[in-house]
Structures are given as structure tokens and as C-alpha cells.
A and B are shown apart, each in its own frame.
Chain A
Amino acid sequence: MNQAGPRRAGGVLRFAAFCGYALLLAPVTVVVAVSFSSGQFLAFPPPGLSLRWYQALFTNADMMAALGTSALLAAAVSALSLLLGLPAAYAIARLDFPGRRIMADLLAAPLLLPTLVLGLALLLALQPLKLVATWPGLILAHCTLAVPFAVRIMTTSISSVPADLEAAARTLGASPLRAALRVTLPLAAPGVMAAAALCFLISFDETVISLFLVGPRLTTLPVELFRYAENRTDPMVAALSMLLISIAFAVVLLVERAAGLTRTLSKD
């Protein structure tokens, strides 16, 4: 008999879903626990709890320098991607001109490449220009990845602002630039905020491209985490992971409070 309502999933399905969730959430949960470990090794469950690995992390000069680099880099990439992406997004969303579709595709092109291939290509191109392990090189590389996302999100949010409002402002004597900046932009602000946050996170979490482009004197936090995980496995890597995770969540929460990130992204 199958009297259970259609809403109620069957037992087998529910068990399979539970296994799926366990697999999805296990590593993150374990990282949280292990980062508070008092032991010497990356072991779960930890032998006891302490903050020693956080202390080790925050007193590690290399890690703190990398944190500073990553934060500054992400902020620069986020700001630049908005500056570059906003006019492009406006053009795609509002203007009608020959090649609009092609332009939108061109602006999304970097997303076609795996980051590994893009990282290698950037290394080969930037090495002769002496831009490897420099700020301009890293900013260019991260912007290449962030701009397509920025354009896409902002195009969606600008399109969702009724064009009539801008037309009304124009009728009342506003110049096209003024109408766009004073009417459409404020109404599209949640999308712009979401784009800024996403670009920040893309840069802040970027590992693979950075691996090709960092040097001993300029390195980012995800690269340090990767290198540390490759060579050593004491719980400091877990504390470091937690640092990355908490900053990512802080940014998401901040934007969620301010603009509703999930809402903005799901509008797509």
C-alpha cells in the first residue's frame, strides 16, 4: 500500500538523500572541529579542544602577510570589476546596437576555460612582460575571472529595472548619463552589491590561477593554504581554512543583510 502522501519521500530515497548530505557536509564540519584541536595532527575527532592553532596562525608572519595581500587584492579586483563591468552591463541591458549578442558572449568568454588552462596561459603571456608575481599581474588575472561574473549579474539586475523610469527621467529633462546614474543605478544597487561581493569572493578564494602567478615575495592566502596542505598536515591548515571560510561567510552575510544575495542571484 502506498498511503503516504506524495510530499513524503520514500524511506530508500530519504536514506540516499541523507547519505548525499553527509558526504556534502562532512568535510566542512570536520574542518571546523579540527581547527579547535589541541593535538599535533590533523585527526578527527580531535584529542581535545584548544585555540593553539589559531594562535599559531595569527602569529605566523608569512600567513598574515598573505592574508593582507589577499584582502587587498580582492578589494581591488572587486572595485575594478564593478568599474569595468557596470558600463558594459548597462550597454547589454539597455542599449540596442549591432553585435550586442556577440559582445555579451565575448565578455563571458573567460568562463569557457578551465582555471588551470587560463592560469597557464596567463603565466606564458605575463612572464615575458615581467608581470609574474606583481600586483598588476595578479589584478589582471583575477579581473579576467571576475569581470564576466560582474557583467552577468549586473546585466540581470539592470534589466529588471523598468526602462520606463529612465525614459520618464529623460522626458523631464535629464541627460542620458544623469538618468542612468540617478534613476537606474540606485534601483539596480542590490545587484551591484551582489556583484561586488561575488567578485571579492572569486578573487579571495582563487587558488589555481594564483598558483601560476605568485612568487616568493608576493603570495596569496589560498596559495599558502594549498602549499601548506601539500607539505604538512598539522591542524594549522584547518585553522587557516576556517579563516578563509569565515571571511567568505562574512561577506555573504553582509550582502545578504544589505541586498539579499540569494534573491539577487536566483533572479537569473
Chain B
Amino acid sequence: MMGWLLAAPALCVLAFGFGLPVTVLFRMSLNRTNEMGAMVPDLSLQTYAKLLSDEFAAEVAFDTLWLASGCAAAAVALALPVALSIRAAPPRWRGVLALAAVAPLLVSGTARIIGWIAILSDGGFVNAVLLALGLPEQRLINNWTGVRIGLTESLMPYAVLVLLAGLGRLDPRLDEAAATLGAGRSRTFLRVTLPLAAPALLASFALCIVLGLSAFVTPRLMGGGRVFVIATEIYDQALETVDWPAAAAMAIMLLAVLGGLALLRALLPARAR
């Protein structure tokens, strides 16, 4: 009893900051919006039905899923060599390398996107290099390409963290054993390291896809308002169109998808979590 008493202040704050808002969100999704755009109190699934039959919404949902899975896969693929090199580094370098890999987490997401703008914009670094090489300029920002690059980078530190935790249990002596038995480096990687790392790879992919599905700042700023994903739609409906039932219903559906993914993850072998 004493325990609940000690936690009561914290629980109260969370009840107001989390419990109440989530309830209101769910309740709002059962209201609907009339033709004039005004909110009508209701207790129906009309808003959901409207969203589910809306072609644009379906397209946005599909694009979001495609973006998140692609960026999650790319982030994991790029994070694996980083994690392996941290593991293979001499002990005194390990801390520094690991810190460098997760340092972006300490930097606000918006700040990193400002960096990407300077690198990828029309007058940016990459295009200046392309121009100097006599190659055609590329549009690398304010479109899906920009969002893909930015999102992949923002997911990488998380992927590295999960991989480092998962690979920690992988005995480096196995690599030596494979080499002693005559396996080449690529063979060792493909037949020993990769299969043993598979659970960690799956776990970091699962985390990245969850983070990618709900990412907002990167698609918004790198997409320059021309890329529509579920998160930017929720934001626009909430603050620009001010269609709260639609925003709430979209948020609940996003939560349902994330909940489904969490369930799938719970079904993974314990080793992978």
C-alpha cells in the first residue's frame, strides 16, 4: 500500500498528462465532421469508415509503410558494419566509436535536418560536387529521396544500439574458429556472423519500422510539404484543417498498426528481443 502511496503524485500527473488525453483522443475519433467542416458530437465509426474508403488516405498509408520499411532496412544494413566494427575495435577505442555512433541522438532532429539541407539542396554540397564532375544536378530534397535519406540517418543510431546489445552475446572466438577451419572472410561473415546476428537484426528492424511509421519532423522538413505520410496528415488535420475527429481516428489507426507490430515482436523468439 505504501508503494502506491509513494507513487501517487507521479501517477496523478500521468493520469492527467496521459490517461485523460488518450481517453479524449479515442472519444474524439467517434465524433464526426459535417459538410461544413464543423465537429458534430456522435458515437459512431463514421470517421473511420470515411478514412478507410478514402483513396488518398489509403495511398498515404501505403506510402508511409513503404517508406518506413525501406528506411528501416537501409538503416539496419548500414548499422550492421558500424556495430561490427565497434565490436572488432581494440577495447580502448570501443567507447569512443560507440559514442560517435549514437551521438546524433543527443542532437535535435531538426538541427540534423538543417545539416542535410545544406548538403542536399539545389545549391548544396552534393550538387556542387556533381556539377564540378560535369554530372547533371539531382533533386535531393523536398521530395521522397530527401525524406528517405534523412529518415535512414535518423534511424541508424537506434539500429546501432539494438545491434550492439544483441551482438554482445556473439562470441568473437567463433570467427576465429571459422577462420582456423579454413573459412574465408566473406564465408565466415555469411555462414557464421550473419546467422548468429539474425535475431538482433530482426529486433533492430522491428524498432526502426515502428519509429519510422510515426516519424514526423523528418518527412515534414525534408519533404518540404510535398511528401505526405500518416504523421504529416495527422498534424495537418489537427492544426491546419482542424478536423479533430479525422486526426484522432488516424492517430488511433496508427496506434493499432503499431500495436499489431508490437504483438508480432512479442511472438519473436525471446533471443531476438
Enumerate chain A interface residues (CB-CB to B < 8 A).
Answer: 2, 4, 6-10, 12-14, 16-17, 19-21, 23-31, 34, 41-45, 80, 83-85, 87-88, 90-92, 95-97, 99-100, 103, 106-107, 109-110, 113-118, 120-126, 140-141, 143-144, 147-148, 151, 201, 205, 207-208, 211-212, 222, 225-226, 229-230, 233, 237-238, 241-242, 244-245, 248-249, 252, 262
Contact = CB atoms under 8 A, between A and B. Distances in A.
B33 interface: no
A8 B188 CA distance: 14
B13 to A, nearest CB: 6
Nearest to B183: A2
Given A9-B84, A17-B85, A110-B14, A95 B3 contact: yes
A120 B251 contact: yes
A118 B252 CA distance: 11
A44 B4 contact: no
Contacts of A4: 185
Which of A2, A14, A96 has the most CB atoms of chain B within a 10 A radius of its CB? A2
Contacts of B4: 91, 97, 99, 103
Which of A19, A121, A151 has the most CB atoms of chain B within a 10 A radius of its CB? A121
Contacts of B173: 6
B228 interface: no
Interface residues on B, range: 35 or more
Contact of A125 (B20, B95, B119): B20
B117 to A, nearest CB: 5
Given A17-B82, A88-B6, A233-B117, A225 B21 contact: no
B114 A121 contact: no
Interface in B128-142: none
Contacts of B238: 120, 123, 212
Which of A6, A29, A90 has the most CB atoms of chain B within a 10 A radius of its CB? A6
A88 B8 CA distance: 8
Interface in B2-16: 2-4, 6-7, 9-11, 13-14, 16
B18 A248 contact: no
A87 B7 CA distance: 6
25 contacts: A2-B184, A6-B173, A9-B84, A13-B84, A20-B156, A24-B100, A24-B156, A27-B111, A30-B125, A41-B123, A84-B9, A88-B10, A95-B2, A103-B3, A103-B7, A107-B10, A110-B17, A116-B214, A120-B247, A121-B22, A125-B21, A140-B13, A140-B16, A244-B111, A245-B107
